[in-house]
Structures are given as structure tokens and as C-alpha cells.
Structure 1
Amino acid sequence: MRDVLVTLIVFGSLPYIFKRPSLGLVMWIWISVMNPHTQGWGFAREFPFAAIIAVTTVAAMATNPHRRYRLPITPVTITFLAFVAWMGVTSAFAIHPDQIMPQLVKVAKIMGMTIVVLLLLRKRIHIEWMIWTIVVSIGYYGVKGGIFTVRSGAQYRVWGPIGTFIDGNNEIALALVMTIPLMLYLYTLVTHKWGKRALIAAMVLCALASLASYSRGAAIAMAAMLCFLWLKSRNKAMLGMLLVLCVPVALVFMPEQWHARIDTIDEYEQDMSAMGRINAWRMAFNLANDRPFGGGFEIYDSEVFERYAPVPEDVHAAHSIYFQVLGEHGWMGLALYLALGVLTWRTGSWIIRNAEPYKELTWAGNLARMTQVSLLGFAVGGAFLSLLYFDVPYYLMAGMVATRIIVEREKQALVPVPKVNPLAPPPDVDEDTTDEELRHDPA
């Protein structure tokens, strides 16, 4: 039944995508992030829904007689394109050129559709469609996992959907950490009281599911995300009070084995998993020093570890977005990736600063703040996970670029709201001036 339902939704959406290519953005993110077809048990699990949606979307854009789609030229997009091009160069000099093709094709699809997303995000409504789709796609597993956590008393780990970027307990936990700030942004848009309550419940359940993954990296990312969320909040007193009340309750709710797992952060030298990651990080560092173009894709095997790792027999994946890009694409790849993150962050800061004087652009400032909080969670948690090619951060990058363009365009026609200093003295008024004269005084 699930296979049939997903198939009907996808094929039923194709005519609408031809009429409005921006709907292809929604369907692509839904299929690629949520992977609803993996929740079935029949033919849909292996059916190429994503490819069908991508081809339909690109065809609709190419045949649209009413609009020409242009890639926004900004420092972020230029750096992103340079990063993608550099991955092509490193693939040409890969250690295992005969093994990289499946991963190269997978990454090319992700980066290619990110460019399509950049082309399609033209209006505020498109950006909000994207945010809603990401939240629903990941939040579904968070709500489901949170209910499971409550029912089981957090005795069992929460896992993500099999066969996806976020199938592991660590990966789904970080994805949920990234989603919570986006839910908070949507909370500012929803006006119906039950809608707001549903979003609050979803945020709580996602937080519980993330904790119940028993992921130490995600726990660190959540702590960083909550601290920065408080710093970015407009109502620090209220949010601080909620955090003081809710965080201890959540920690008390978690069972003893969860606390024992988290406490091993201080004892990483005795943890075989942690030491294996450090060994992989050293391998990536040594490889990048030896090969200017890095090792390309598929470098985590006994041959490469024999050559570059301090402990050759301890073969591990990178378990870090930073050492993953360093090992696979060298120091230049790492420099481009970090520059992309910094420029995206600065774009968010520009949006916040320039949207603040305009009431009509409040949404843009709120979105930029929450996107920064989300990306900070990814930057911290990603230090312990191999999620370099996880598509959601790239979509959020595209959202930042589109939001800045909208702010630049719309603020030209808006009147800024004057700032009122509550400590400033009142204007001078003649003691003989009557109230009636004040009301009619044009000054």
C-alpha cells in the first residue's frame, strides 16, 4: 500500500511540475531527504523516483516560455561551483579511479540538483516551501522516534531510514538537531494555535529522539545549537527560562545507560571507536600532505591505511566532514569547503543586519538566524560524522543566497522603521503648549 501511495503521489505531481517547475523542487527534496519509498516493502524501494522528478523538473525549466532561469552570481555560488569543479579534478587523480564512479555519480546528482534549487528559489514562497519540505521530511522520523522514545523510556536507540544519508543513529540525530531551529522559524509563521502547538510538540519529540540515538557527537551539537539559539533569540529571558526548565527534565528522563554512554566523551583514549576515528583523521592528514589533489572518493580501505595511517589495520571511515574533505580532496578542497561555510554564514549576517530596519522583512531576518543556528549544529556535529555530501546543508545555503537577493530587491521600495531609544529624553515641548496644539502639530 505504501509503494502504491508514493507512486501515485510522484506520478500525479509530474503534470503540475511541468506547469510550475518550482514544485519539482518540493518533490525532489521530499524524495531525496525523506526517502518515503524506503518505507515500503515492494517495488517502490528500488524505483528511480528521484531521477524521474529531476528529469521532469529540468525539462519543465528548459521548455518554460515565460521565464529564463539564471544562476545568481554571488561569492557563495562562485565558491560552490569552484568546490564542485575541484571535486571533478580530484576524481581525475583519484587513488582508485576504477572504483569511484558510483560515488562520483551520486555526488554529481546532489550538486547538480543543488544548482537547480538555486535556479528555482526566486520568491519568498519558494524558500518557505523548501523549509517546510525539509522539516516534514526529517521531522517525520523525529516525531516517530520521539514517540518511540517516550514509550520505551529511551531504553533503545533511535535509527534513521535504511539506505539513506541519515540511516545511522548518529546521522539521524544530527539531522534532527538541524531541523529543530527550522521548526522554530516556521513557528513564527503559523497563526493557528493548534499549528503552533503541533510544532512545539514536534520540536520536543525531535529533541528526545536525537538524545535517544545515544550519539555523543549529536549531544555536543545539540548543546552548541541550544546555546547559539539562545544568543540569536529575540526573547532571551523567555527562551532561557524554557531551557532551564526543560533540559534538566530531559536529562533526568534518559536512562542510566545513556548517561554512561555520554560520559565516555571524557574517556576517549579508552574508547576504541574514538581512537579509530582519530586514526582515520591522521590518515587523511598524511594523505593530503602527500597528494596535493587528495585521494579522491573511496579511499577508506586497507591499501590506503597501510600507506598513510598510524595504525594500518584499524580501517575506519572519515567520521568527520572536515577530514573527509581533506582526505578526499586535499588542502584546496578543505579551503574551498570552509570558505563556502564562512561565506554562507556572512550572507546570513548580512540578511539579519539589512532586514532589521524593515518590518516587512522580519521573516528574512528570522529565517537567516534560524538557518545559522541549524548550520552551526551541522558544523559541530559534522566534526564527528562522514556527512560531507549530505544535501540539506547545501539546500540551506541556497536558501540563504535566495533570501539575500530578495532582501536586496525589496528593501529599495520599503520605508525603514525608525528605532526608538527608550533612554532618550523626550522632545522639548513648550510648557504653554496645549494638548490640542500637540495633536495638530505637524512636527
Structure 2
Amino acid sequence: MRDIAVTLAVFGSLPFILRRPWIGILVWTWLGFMNPHRMAWGFSTTMPFAMIVALTTLIAMLFSKEEKRIPWERETVVLVLFTGWMFITTIFAVYSELAWLQFEKVIKIQLMILVAMMLITTPQRLKLLVWTIALSLAFYGVKGGIFTILHGGVFRVQGPPGTFIGGNNEIGLALAMTIPLLYFLARSIDQKWLLRSGIYAATVLTALGAIGTQSRGALLGMAAMGLMFWLKSRQKVLVALLAAASVFAVVQVMPEAWYERMHTIQSYEEDKSAMGRVNAWWMAFNLAKDRPLGGGFETFQRGMFALYAPDPTNSRDVHSVYFEVLGEHGFFGLALFLLLAVLTWRSAGAVARAVKKVPERAWMGDLATMVQVSLIAYFAAGAFLGMAYFDYYYNLVLIIVIVKAILHREGLLGDAKVGRAGDASPAPGLSTPIGPVPDRSAAARARAG
């Protein structure tokens, strides 16, 4: 029954995608984040739904009369450079066959990110994209939170098998990143207290679900995210109440074994798993020093540990976004990866400042701020998780690029450089608005200051 339901939903969306290609981005995002076919047991588990939707979207784009242009914000430029660098490192990868298989997965994500930049061109489409991302993962958050309560936190919350978020560590990171977006959605709902209350409840359950994964990396991500959440929120009392509700639930539900496991964060020298990660980090560093291009995708194999690791006999996954990129793509690849994050962060701050006095676009500032909080969750937990190519991170970049492009079109971002202190404007030559720039009326000029 589940197989039939998912199949009907996907194929039923194709006619709508052919008429409106941007719907294909929403369906692709739903499939990529929620992976509904992985919850079935029959033929749909192996159906290439994402490929079918992607091809339909690309075909629909060819016949669509809408103007399609990549918004060349500085984040877009760095993203393309990073993708190009990964292509180069794949050509010279140590484990060529494995590297090309991984590159194929990565390039599909980056291609659809660029397609989304061309198709998600209005505030309404952007809102629907954020709803799709948040609710797709909130499904697992609510489910995981209830599961944790019912079983007293004895069992770990897991994600859908065979996906980016299949393991407890991975789903824990994804749920931590989703909490800020859920909060944004709840705050953006007007005069619908029941729906807003439901989203707040989902936020608390998602937090509990993240804790229920028993992932130490997710716990660190939650802690860093929670602090930034409170600092960035304009409703600090409400955020504090939500945090208190989450902490109370954790105290009431989680067993003693969970506290013992989390306590090992402080004594990582005695933890074989933690020391194995440190060994892999040193291997990545030594490899990058010896090979400027890195080892290419999937380089963390026994042979490379034998050459570059302090303990050649202890080979394991790298479990860190930073050292994963460093080992696979070298110091230059890591610089591009981090530059993308820094630029996205600064642009989000610039957006928040630019719309501060524009009531009809204030929600974009709130969204940009919550994207910053999600980035903190990703990079804090990602220090201990090998999720450098997680599509969630690149969708956060996508959101900021779309917001900037819309604001450029509306004349609410100027022509000076974005990212300077107190400035909310894009770098010259790196920002292209989506579609023609309309003439700014006197009212628009007044709103923009």
C-alpha cells in the first residue's frame, strides 16, 4: 500500500511539473529529504523517483516561457568553483572508481541546486521550499520524539536506511538543523494559533528526537545551536520556554545510560572511537600536505591510512566535515568549502539588516537569521560527522541566494559590497538579479533608506 501511495504521489505530480517546472524542485526536495519510498517494503524502494522528477523538471524548463537565469551571487560563484575543484580532484583521485561514483552523487545535488536558483524566483515559491524542507524532516523529528518518549530513550532514533540521514548521527544532525526552520515557520503563521501551536509542539518533539538519537555530535550541535538560537531570536522569552520544555522532556525521559554515553565527550582520550577519529584527522592533514589535490572522494581507505596515519592499523571513517574535505580535496578545497559558509553567513546578516525596516519583507530577515542558526548546528555537529556533501547545507546556501536575488530585483539591496560591517549590499559584479530590475518608485526608495 505504501509503495502504491508513493508511486501515485510522484507520478501524479509530473503533469503539474510539466506546466510549472518550479514544482519539480519541491517534489525533488521532498524526495531527497523525507525519502518516502524508503519507508515502503516493495517495488518503490528501488524506483528512481528522484531521477524521474529531475528529468521531468529539466524538460519542463526547456519549454517554459519564464526567464531562467542563474543569480550570480558571490555564494553561487564559490559554489561553482568548489564543484569544479571537486571535478579536478576526482580526475586525479587515488581510488578512481570509487571517486567517480561519489562525484556522480555530488554533481546531481549541485546541478539541482543551480536549477532551483533559476526556478525559485518569487517569495511564495521560497516559502513553499522552506515548508517542504522543514516538514519533510519534522516528520522524522515528531516520530523520533514520540518514539523516544514511549521507549524511555532506551533505543536510538534512526533515519530511513540507505539515505544521507540513515544513521543515528546523521539524522541527529539533520533534526538539529531543522529546529530553527520550524521556529521560523511557526512565527510566520498569522492568526492561526492551532497550526502555530502544532509547529511549536513539532519543534519540541524534534529536539527530543535529536537527543533520542544518542549522538554525541548531535548533542554538541544542539548545544551550539541552542545558544545561537537564543542570541539571534527576537522572542528570547519564547525561545527560553521552548528550550526549557525540551530540557524537561529530556530529563524525564532519557535513561542513565544516555548520560553515561554523553559524559564520554569529556573523556575522549579514553574512547577508542574518538581516538580513531583523531587518527583519521591526522591522516587527512598529512595527506593534504603531501598531495595538494587531496586524495579525491572516498580516499579514507586502508592503503592511505598505511601511508599517512599516525596509527596505520586504525583505519575508519573520518567523521568530520572539515577533515573530510581536507583529505579528499586538499587545503584549497577546504578553503572554498569554508569560504562558502562564511559568505552565506555574512549575506544572511546583510539581508536581515536590509529588510529590518521593510515590514512586508521582514520575514526574509527572520528566515536569514534562522539559516544562520542552522549553519551553526551543521558546523558544530559536523566537526564530528562526515557530512560535507549533505544536501541540507547546500539548500541553506540556496535559500540565502534566492533571498538576495529577490531583494536585488525589488531594489532593497544596493550596489556596494555585501559583507562589510554595517553594509547590506552585494559585491559588484557578483550579483545578478532574477529577471529585469524594475524601476524603483519613490516609496521603494524610501523603504530602502
Is TM (by shorter chain) over 0.5? yes
Q: Give, as a single letter, the amino acid of the residue that structure 2 aligns with 1:10.
A: V
Structure 2 counterparts to residues 128-277 of structure 1, below 5 A: 128-191=127-190, 192-244=192-244, 246-277=246-277
Q: How many Å separate the matches in 2 of 1:223 and 1:110?
A: 29
Asked if the contact 1:173/1:211 (under 8 Å) is kept, the reply is yes
Equivalent residue, structure 1, for 2:423: none
TM-score, L = length of structure 2: 0.90
Q: Give, as a single letter, the amino acid of the residue that structure 2 aligns with 1:101.
A: W
Aligned pair in 2 of structure 1 residues 242, 30: CA closer, same or farther (>3 Å)?
closer
Aligned-residue sequence identity (percent) comes to 46
Equivalent residue, structure 1, for 2:324: 324
Q: How many Å separate the matches in 2 of 1:375 and 1:393?
A: 7
Q: How many Å separate the matches in 1 of 2:241 and 2:258?
A: 25
Equivalent residue, structure 2, for 1:366: 366
Asked if the contact 1:170/1:215 (under 8 Å) is kept, the reply is yes
Q: Deviations over 1:367-397 (max 9, x none)?
A: 0011111111101111111111110111111
Equivalent residue, structure 1, for 2:90: 91
Equivalent residue, structure 2, for 1:17: 17
Q: How many residues align?
A: 418
Equivalent residue, structure 1, for 2:70: 71
Asked if the contact 1:358/1:415 (under 8 Å) is kept, the reply is no
Asked if the contact 2:102/2:297 (under 8 Å) is kept, the reply is yes
Equivalent residue, structure 2, for 1:439: none
Aligned pair in 2 of structure 1 residues 417, 112: CA closer, same or farther (>3 Å)?
closer
Asked if the contact 2:358/2:448 (under 8 Å) is kept, the reply is no
Asked if the contact 2:207/2:246 (under 8 Å) is kept, the reply is no
Q: How many Å separate the matches in 2 of 1:358 and 1:409?
A: 15
Asked if the contact 1:364/1:407 (under 8 Å) is kept, the reply is no
Q: How many Å separate the matches in 1 of 2:374 and 2:188?
A: 18
CA-CA distance at 1:249 after TM superposition: 4.8
Aligned pair in 2 of structure 1 residues 415, 186: CA closer, same or farther (>3 Å)?
farther
Asked if the contact 1:292/1:331 (under 8 Å) is kept, the reply is yes
Unaligned runs of 5+ in 2: 413-439
TM-score, L = length of structure 1: 0.92
Q: Deviations over 1:143-168 (max 9, x none)?
A: 11111111111111111110000001
Aligned pair in 2 of structure 1 residues 200, 232: CA closer, same or farther (>3 Å)?
same
CA-CA distance at 1:105 after TM superposition: 1.0
| Backbone CA RMSD of aligned residues | 1.6
Computing the radius of gyration from Cα coordinates, the structure with the larger value is 1
Equivalent residue, structure 1, for 2:125: 126
CA-CA distance at 1:416 after TM superposition: 5.4
Structure 2 counterparts to residues 277-356 of structure 1, below 5 A: 277-356=277-356
Unaligned runs of 5+ in 1: 420-443
Q: How many Å separate the matches in 2 of 1:317 and 1:224?
A: 24
CA-CA distance at 1:101 after TM superposition: 2.2
CA-CA distance at 1:409 after TM superposition: 2.6
Q: How many Å separate the matches in 2 of 1:116 and 1:70?
A: 9
Q: How many Å separate the matches in 1 of 2:71 and 2:243?
A: 39
Secondary structure at 1:98 match in 2: helix
Q: How many Å separate the matches in 1 of 2:126 and 2:276?
A: 40
